[in-house]
Amino acid sequence: MLDEIMPPWVAIAEFFGDPPDITLFPEEEVLVSGSADKRRREFRTSRHCAHLALRQLGVDPHPVLRGDRGAPAWPPGVVGSITHCTGYRAAAVAHGALSIGIDAEPHLPMPRGVLERTATPAEAAALDLLGIPDPGRLLFSAKEAIYKAWHPLTGHWLGFLDAMVTFTTFPSADPPAVSGAFAAEIAVHGPGWPARFEGRWLVSGGLILTAIAVPAPSA
């Protein structure tokens, strides 16, 4: 699924369940040694996705530990992102890029009160024009992907209301799947910080995926 909304220079691995025979590096296993079973399973499969995606880049086996704010710590010269939700785990990595952000969410209604805390009135009103049921999670997912792409470039926090997102929808060749693009205008500024992100989205099979890949200037 993720390859439908990512450029071809991004290496991707995804699973729709948790294979029982995954082996992680000891340094990775320690990170979830005291966690509940659900958390261990999603962590192990997500890290396995990261290993498979890195292998596509020709990167030797390497433990993917935690960096700033718990984000994955990638090998030198690699950028990437990991996501997981019920029934889905994925990783995306690339050489020669500035940043990647991916997010997956179940296509379910937003919990009461969450949309009001994550969307401006204009964003909330525009969601109804997309023609998909329960679109609030799509906006939430896009803002999660934006933050994952933003933080490695700036080292700073970005709030939900600091990014104003607009969506476009593409004609569907495979209904009921729906896909499109989104753009985000960033309201906080600093030296060299990006003022805008562009990404893609997909709603299919009960899942919502959003993705941003920022190439290096020479790419």
Mind listing the pLDDT tens digit for each residue in 45-61?
999 999 999 999 999 88
Mean pLDDT of 26-33: 95
Domains of the chain: residue spans and CATH: 2-101 (3.90.470), 105-215 (no CATH)
> What is the model's pLDDT at position 17?
94
Q: Note the pLDDT tens digit of each residue in 115-161.
A: 999 999 999 999 988 989 999 999 999 999 999 999 999 999 899 99
pLDDT tens-digit series, residues 138-148: 999 999 999 99
CA 147, CA 141: separation in Å to the nearest integer?
Answer: 10
Give the pLDDT of residue 219.
Answer: 46
β-strand pairing of 88-95 with 78-85? antiparallel
If you average pLDDT over every residue of the chain, what do you get? 94
Angle at 37 between CA 36 and CA 41, to 5 degrees: 120
Burial of 52 (0-12, 13-18, 19+ CB in 10 A): middle
Pair 115, 122: CB distance under 8 Å: no
Q: How far is CA 9 from the centre of its chain?
A: 16
The confidence score (pLDDT) of residue 62 equals 87
- Tokens standing for residue 178: 């729906």
Q: What is the pLDDT of residue 84?
A: 97
